[in-house]
Amino acid sequence: MVTGALRERYAEHRKGRPSMQELLAIADRAAAHVKRPYVDHAELLYDENGLPK
């Protein structure tokens, strides 16, 4: 019974597009897990001359 109700609610939620508020809330939660300073991916992929490592 509870499982069926949860499935219905999930199905209803997935039908609509997320609102801007929902997207910003997701971004805020994700940002809390990002370690700073950010890694410059170019440093990982290319040497000082711009050539692939």
Domain ranges of the chain: 2-45
Q: Which residues of the chain have pLDDT under 70?
A: 14
The token pair at 45 is 């992929």
Q: What is the pTM of this model?
A: 0.41
Determine contact, residues 39/45, Cβ cutoff 8 Å: no
When the pLDDT of each residue in the chain is averaged and rounded to a whole number, the result is 86
Q: Is 46 in contact with 52 (CB distance < 8 Å)? A: yes
Per residue in 15-24, pLDDT (tens digit) is 777 889 989 9
